[in-house]
Every structure is written in structure tokens, then in C-alpha cells.
Amino acid sequence: MTPTLDSVLTATDAALRTLFARPHATRAIPAPSQPPSEMTEKERREAGALMRVNHVGEVCAQALYTAQAAVTRDTALRAHFIEAAHEETDHLAWTRQRLDELGARASALNPLWYAGAFGLGLVAGRLGDPLSLGFVAETERQVEAHLANHLDRLPAADTASRAVVEQMKTDEARHAAQAIDAGAAELPPPAKALMRIASRVMTTLAHRI
């Protein structure tokens, strides 16, 4: 499918909004079950680093869904990708809010992460809708596991970040199930392994930069 001017402009607008505009959530940020407690400086730095990684994940999610929406020929599937991107905008806004509240910064490499994820989304979309959906399902499964790991690592006192991560984990599991219901094909093991390696590189760098 040759990109139209409209799809190019839409993709460009999405990139600029993700990287340079303040994201606005359609849902209120999840409220913690217990008020946050005072954290040590070390705990605050670690919480900020983990939420920076989660914010990068949401930047990548915007890029992936935007790219896949741009290349699919199926109008219903395009609408599905666009709707998923809109819901992921909540996560983008929530993680950015927590970064601000923790006094942490977003990753300086966000433009690089976005470009890489957009390229992967284009490749996945070009392979056909079943594999494109399979890529979504596997991505969301890996993200869900990564969020579960962060729940183990976040300071117990940071109940605000924990509430956000818990809701994100629930949403990502639902996105994976929706992709499977829509006809996702199972990715071959080497593809899954490469995705895990790429994710490990991203999370390691984003934790610091």
C-alpha cells in the first residue's frame, strides 16, 4: 500500500504530538488505594527511572499503532489501531505526570525510540494483518510482563506510581486479547526472541538516559 498524503500528514502530526506536545488523558489518573508515603532520595530516583522507562514504552506504543494504522488496507483494523493509540495516550499522559511529580525527566532519546518503533510498525504492517496483529499481541504480552516486574521494583511508598502501572498492566492484557480475537497470527520464536532483546536494550538505556 502506497502512503497517501493524508496518511503521511496524520503520521507526522501523531509524531509531533507524542514527542513535543503535552499529552491529555481521557481518563483520570488511577488513584492509589493508600496515600503515598515519604520516599528517600534513592527511592525517588529509582521510581523516576522506572516511570521514565514506562513513558518510553508509551512513546513506542504511539509509534507502533500509528505506523500499523497507516499501512493496513482493512478500514476496520485501521480504526482498531487508532482507537488503541488513543487509549495508550492515557498511559502516555499518566506516566508523564508521574515523571513531573517525581522530579524526573523524560528520556532524551525519545525521538530515536519513536523512529525505531515506527519503523518496526511499518515492517509489521507490510507483512499482512494477521502478522501485524500478532506483533501487537506479542508486544503487549511482553509489556505486561515488564510492568509486572516494575511492580516488584517500585518503592512500596510510591503508591501513586504503582496505581498507574497496575492499570496499565490491565489495559495491555486487554489489548493483547483484542488483537488475538481480531485474528492475530502467532509469531515464530526467533521473532519473539529478537523483540525481547530489543526491549532489553531500550529499557536498560531509558533507565539511565
- The H or E element spanning position 177 is helix 159-181
Comparing 117 with 3, which gets the higher pLDDT?
117
How many CB atoms lie under 10 A from the CB of residue 77?
Answer: 18
- Could you read off the pLDDT of 142-193 as tens digits, one per residue? 999 999 999 999 999 999 999 999 999 999 999 899 889 888 999 889 888 9
Q: Where are the beta strands (DSSP E) in 63-133?
A: none
How confident is the model over 47-53, as a mean pLDDT? 96
For 183, the 3-state DSSP assignment is: coil
> Is residue 103 left, alpha or beta, with left meaning phi > 0 and alpha meaning psi from -120 to 50?
left
| Confidence at residue 98, expressed as pLDDT on a 0 to 100 scale | 96
Nearest in space to 56 (alpha carbons), one of 104, 101, 9: 104
Q: In angstroms, what CA-CA distances link 3 with 70, 77, 136, 186, 199?
A: 7, 16, 21, 27, 28
Phi-psi region of 183 (alpha: psi -120 to 50; beta: other; left: phi over 0): left
Question: What is d(CA 192, CA 198) in angstroms, rounded to the nearest whole number?
Answer: 10
pTM, full prediction: 0.89
Is-contact 93 28, C-beta < 8 A? Answer: no
d(CA 183, CA 179): 7
To the nearest whole number, what is the mean pLDDT of the chain? 89
Question: Cβ(2)–Cβ(71) under 8 Å?
Answer: no
DSSP SS3 for 92: helix
- For residue 42, the one-letter residue type is K
Per-residue pLDDT, averaged over 121-148, amounts to: 89
- Which amino acid is present at 195? M
- Say whether pLDDT at 3 is over 60: no
Cell of 17: 504530538
Predicted confidence at residue 20, as pLDDT, reads 75
Please report which helix (H) or strand (E) contains residue 73, including its range: none
Give me the percent of the chain exceeding a pLDDT of 70: 96
What's the whole-number mean pLDDT along residues 5-23?
Answer: 75
The CATH homologous superfamily for domain 39-208 is Ferritin, core subunit, four-helix bundle (1.20.1260.10)
Cβ pair 88, 61 in contact under 8 A: yes
Mean of pLDDT values over 49-65: 93
